[in-house]
A and B are shown apart, each in its own frame.
Chain A
């Protein structure tokens, strides 16, 4: 099973939201990392078939998804960035409605809904109106609807936005459980959400994929370039102008502990540190200087 994206482009007027993106998605969790406006949502909407590309193709096991149509959607689960629901629906009403849309029989729907409500800890709220539930619970309902048809391809656009740290941790565990033999494609700008569960990552910037690979492979780019150092607090602004600072922590006595990415130790008494995906993310999307963009 594979989902192949070939030179996919989406143009709005004279602006390319997605520029000639090519990817080959295979079973496992794929993280799509990028800043807001990078083109992640546009790419995901094209993958679901709800947005037509300006050029390029998307193939599911060799067949174009626009040709497969309903057969493709039968294998697809999608949670959009904005989870729109009907305010008059209870959780069960909503899941039954989506089950009917997905073509599940009443018996299949009942069984799947029951299983998912338990899996996503939604049993207690099954009779409650969705509009009255917290953002985190609504998000879980969004995940539940995506899983109703037991999809082979699961596309989740910013699934952890609005979740508290505990909910995000639970979501990561859930993702690992359900990713067996599925292509799970998650877009996020919260790097830590995919760092531990994604088998592969794609980094997107200005509509282009600028890096693909495992977390370890991607981190190769900044291997030996991550440092930490302790500096006076009043020197922080000066360093920020010239160095890509990825973390700051107060050390007391007007001193700051900074973590930064640079080709070599730029601050006196810097110590090397192990890179993480968040370092890479900030390094790639660092606005100042612009030289990193070119490198990426």
Chain B
């Protein structure tokens, strides 16, 4: 039954076209990631794009690769202060290339945690080498204050964040790789696109049968209820999962060889998110993005299948499903949304995709509270998707079996 249902869905023109479109978009996104990489060479005053830009970035990053020790940070800020004292705002190009370039990346990735007493971030020239040498303890202070003020002055939330942060190993390690590019941001865009396309494929699974009356014949057959419901649900899930792995696989197969894998000790916390309270390498984070994306796509499909099992119009199913897919992004665009809206946004099946996804959420330090309960947003995002997949699956199955026009 499953084989027949799989063949049936695969035979449909819309599935074939949508699968082709998804694959094409993945290739285009991968191409964009590579060819839209931009590098300005201050030595020659020229700009580079694509592979040439990546090579230049890699060469520049090599100057600051390795462990980001307090000494290294102190030296970087000392160089910055010295050059600022001697040259002021305008540093000559040859001096910039020889002295500033090797430390620039370190300053760029550490400056965020230093702030004035009024809470405003400090200019790098205002950060003394001694202060910079305390980067790792200053980072704890930054986490404490950011979470405290960002969560209605709740010290228990800040303490929880600091407890989570205890897992993070220091000093950080840096190495150029895909984590230094737009690969992950574009991968999440690719996953969002897949969530929408897979929803389009899944929307008519039950509802088009209701609309055409095809289910009338199926329902009065031996296998036309429970077994067919399972076959339909599993087919949609198998096809969408295959499409997910094919498209993300193609995307990564194009981008990763170009940017290179990051070293296993390279930490996500350093290059991407100071507020990421997890001891995760960029490679580990890539896997997390894939897992989170896959769970979100599955949750979206199961939601769409459930809608399909209760509504007679595939267009209506699709409209609601795409609306739900876009909702977390729309909420994110609005800005600071408050605790309750964040709960709703992250509990939606689409909570892990769109503009707000695991990639952005891991670096934002968002905690949700309900009385004494404190949940870190990435945890909620993953847990909600994990829970919703079986719930919507079983609901869809039940609604199809019980459906009566």
By a beta-carbon cutoff of 8 Å, the part of chain A in contact with chain B is: 45, 48-52, 70, 73-74, 76, 78-89, 93, 96-98, 100-103, 145-146, 149
Interface of chain B, helix or strand or loop or mixed?
helix
Whether a CB of chain A sits under 8 angstroms from the CB of B4 is: yes
Q: CB-CB < 8 A to A84: which residues of B?
A: 209, 212-217
Q: Would you list which residues of chain B between 175 and 230 have a CB under 8 Å from chain A?
A: 209, 212-224, 228
Q: CB-CB < 8 A to B11: which residues of A?
A: 88-89, 93
Whether a CB of chain A sits under 8 angstroms from the CB of B8 is: yes
Identify the closest chain B residue to A83 (Cβ): B213
Option from B8, B217, B228 in Cβ contact (under 8 Å) with A145: B217
Identify the closest chain A residue to B214 (Cβ): A84
**Interchain CB contact under 8 A, B404 and A101:** no
Q: CB-CB < 8 A to A89: which residues of B?
A: 8, 11
- Given A88-B12, A101-B228, A80 contacting B222 (CB threshold 8 A): no
How distant is the Cα of A96 from the Cα of B214 in the complex, in angstroms?
15
Q: CB-CB < 8 A to A51: which residues of B?
A: 404-405
Whether a CB of chain A sits under 8 angstroms from the CB of B85 is: no
How distant is the Cα of A84 from the Cα of B224 in the complex, in angstroms?
14
How distant is the Cα of A83 from the Cα of B209 in the complex, in angstroms?
11
- Given A52-B404, A89-B8, A100-B4, A73 contacting B222 (CB threshold 8 A): yes
- Given A84-B213, A84-B215, A49 contacting B222 (CB threshold 8 A): no
Q: CB-CB < 8 A to A81: which residues of B?
A: 213
How distant is the Cα of A50 from the Cα of B210 in the complex, in angstroms?
12
How distant is the Cα of A76 from the Cα of B221 in the complex, in angstroms?
8
How distant is the Cα of A98 from the Cα of B404 in the complex, in angstroms?
20
Q: Would you list which residues of chain B between 116 and 168 have a CB under 8 Å from chain A?
A: none
**Interchain CB contact under 8 A, B8 and A88:** yes
Q: CB-CB < 8 A to B12: which residues of A?
A: 86-88
Given contacts A50-B219, A84-B216, A88-B8, 18 further A-B pairs with CB under 8 A are A45-B216, A48-B216, A48-B219, A52-B404, A73-B222, A84-B214, A84-B217, A86-B12, A86-B214, A89-B11, A93-B11, A97-B8, A98-B221, A100-B1, A101-B224, A102-B221, A103-B223, A149-B221
Interface of chain A, helix or strand or loop or mixed?
loop
Identify the closest chain B residue to A103 (Cβ): B222
Q: CB-CB < 8 A to A79: which residues of B?
A: 217
Q: CB-CB < 8 A to B1: which residues of A?
A: 100-101
List the count of A-B residue pairs having beta carbons below 8 Å apart: 79
**Interchain CB contact under 8 A, A102 and B223:** yes
Identify the closest chain A residue to B210 (Cβ): A84
How distant is the Cα of A274 from the Cα of B175 in the complex, in angstroms?
100
**Interchain CB contact under 8 A, B218 and A80:** no
Option from A74, A83, A88, A93 in Cβ contact (under 8 Å) with B222: A74
Option from B13, B213, B220 in Cβ contact (under 8 Å) with A48: B220
Minimum distance in angstroms from A65 CB to a CB of chain B: 10
Q: CB-CB < 8 A to B13: which residues of A?
A: 88
Q: CB-CB < 8 A to A100: which residues of B?
A: 1, 4, 223
Q: CB-CB < 8 A to B218: which residues of A?
A: 98, 101
Q: CB-CB < 8 A to B217: which residues of A?
A: 78-80, 83-84, 98, 145-146
Minimum distance in angstroms from B240 CB to a CB of chain A: 18
**Interchain CB contact under 8 A, B4 and A86:** no
Interface-central residue, B1, B209, B222, B405, by most chain A CB under 10 Å: B222
Minimum distance in angstroms from B138 CB to a CB of chain A: 63
Q: CB-CB < 8 A to A103: which residues of B?
A: 221-223
- Given A50-B219, A50-B404, A78-B220, A97 contacting B214 (CB threshold 8 A): no
Q: CB-CB < 8 A to B216: which residues of A?
A: 45, 48, 50, 78, 80, 82, 84
Q: CB-CB < 8 A to A101: which residues of B?
A: 1, 218, 221-224, 228
Minimum distance in angstroms from A40 CB to a CB of chain B: 14
